[in-house]
Amino acid sequence: MTPRAPLAHPGVHFPPPILFVMGFGASWALDNQFFPLPFPGAGRAVVITVGLMMTMAGLYVMIWGIAMFRKAMTAIFPNQPANELVTEGAYRFTRNPMYVGFTLIFVGAAFLRDSLWPLVLLPLILGLLFLLVIRREEAYLSDAFGEQYAAYRREVRRWV
Give the model's pLDDT for residue 3: 52
Check residue 153 and give its pLDDT. Answer: 96
What is the model's pTM? 0.90
pLDDT tens for each residue of 27-74: 999 998 989 998 887 788 889 999 999 999 999 999 999 999 999 999
Which parts of the chain register pLDDT below 50? none
Query: What pLDDT does 120 receive?
Result: 96
Give pLDDT, residue 2: 53
pLDDT, position 19: 96
What is the predicted pLDDT for the residue at 39?
86
The predicted pLDDT at position 4 comes to 55
Q: Are 5 and 84 in contact (CB under 8 A)?
A: no
